[in-house]
Amino acid sequence: MALAEAGARGRLLLWPRVVLFGDSITEFSFQENGWGASLAERLVRKCDVVNRGLSGYNTRWAKLILPRLIAKSTSAESTVAVTIFFGANDSALKDLNPKQHVPLEEYAANLKSMIQYLKSVDITEDRIILITPPPLQESAWEKECLAKGDKLNRRNATTGEYAQACVQVARDCGTDVLDLWTLMQKDQDFSSYLSDGLHLSTKGNSFLAAQLWSCLEKKLSALPLLLPYWRDVDHTNPEASLL
């Protein structure tokens, strides 16, 4: 059978997709042992995991580009989950990092704006997961800052205020939320979860992957395996199995 004929007989296969939208912690999530890569491995042949992480970005910039990433006319109907993972840059101290800093009230408003946009393109609240910034290990991050000739430009207590705001937005808007800031500090020294005081270590990536999967599993458990297992293909008449 010619490929054109096969294509005409079989309907186009559209993989459902999970979109990971966030800053550098999302952008780096497909690196070795990354939380995004772990999620993609779990969902292989069921769902595409799309990395839309943008290093250094804050919610002020993110809300402007979200409509360029997900539009109703293209892929909203096949988007089964979206993670929104910002705050590590928004919570930077205004006096020391004015370019990335976003005031707390605006941060919350921007998150709400992004949720409202997703709802407007038919991605409902039950498919949206907010993730708070992780805690900041100040002494480790200060070393990173000093190496670049800067002062410590973030504080864990301030990051915690943004995490609380993120949790409140999720409550107000009816979305799920993963409160990474609180979970990582529960009953333990959280420094091992971070590679440089701000970004996730291998252990931190593993922790986030496990927590996120607990949240996503119920949403995605019903997704079927796309295309039959190879042993189930009729080798004498593969068209019957594959088209």
Q: What was the pLDDT predicted at 12?
A: 82
Q: How far is CA 26 from the centre of its chain?
A: 6
Task: Tell me if 189 is assigned to some domain.
Answer: yes
Task: Tell me if 11 is assigned to some domain.
Answer: no
Q: What was the pLDDT predicted at 76?
A: 54
pLDDT above 80 for 7:
no
- Tell me the torsion sign for CA atoms 139, 110, 43, 126: positive
Task: Tell me if 240 is assigned to some domain.
Answer: no
Angle among Cα 100, 104, 108 to the nearest 5 degrees reads 105
Q: The domain containing residue 89 runs over which residues?
A: 17-218
Mean pLDDT of 191-215: 96
Task: Tell me if 56 is assigned to some domain.
Answer: yes
pLDDT confidence tier of residue 19, bands split at 50, 70 and 90:
very high
pLDDT above 60 for 75:
no
Alpha carbons 100 and 204: distance in angstroms, whole number: 23
Mean pLDDT of 98-113: 97
Task: Tell me if 51 is assigned to some domain.
Answer: yes
Alpha carbons 49 and 38: distance in angstroms, whole number: 10
On the CB side of 178, CA atoms within 13 Å amount to 23
Task: Tell me if 3 is assigned to some domain.
Answer: no
Q: What was the pLDDT predicted at 139?
A: 93
Mean pLDDT of the chain: 92
Task: Tell me if 236 is assigned to some domain.
Answer: no
Q: Assign 45 to helix, strand or coil.
A: coil
- Lowest mean pLDDT of 8-12, 60-64, 82-86, 221-225, name the range: 8-12
Q: What was the pLDDT predicted at 8?
A: 53
Q: What was the pLDDT predicted at 124?
A: 93
The DSSP H or E segment spanning 109 is helix 104-120
Q: Torsions phi, psi of 44, nearest 5?
A: -55, 140
Task: Tell me if 67 is assigned to some domain.
Answer: yes
Q: What was the pLDDT predicted at 71?
A: 87
Per-residue pLDDT tens digits for 47-65 = 999 999 999 999 999 999 9
CATH classification of the domain holding 59 = 3.40.50.1110
Mean pLDDT of 135-154: 92
Q: What was the pLDDT predicted at 2?
A: 58
Q: How many domains does the chain have?
A: 1
**Cβ-based neighbours of 148, under 8 Å, separated by 6 or more:** none
C-alpha distance from residue 100 to each of 55, 163, 195 (Å)? 11, 16, 21
Catalytic sites, residue numbers: 24, 196, 199
Alpha carbons 108 and 165: distance in angstroms, whole number: 6
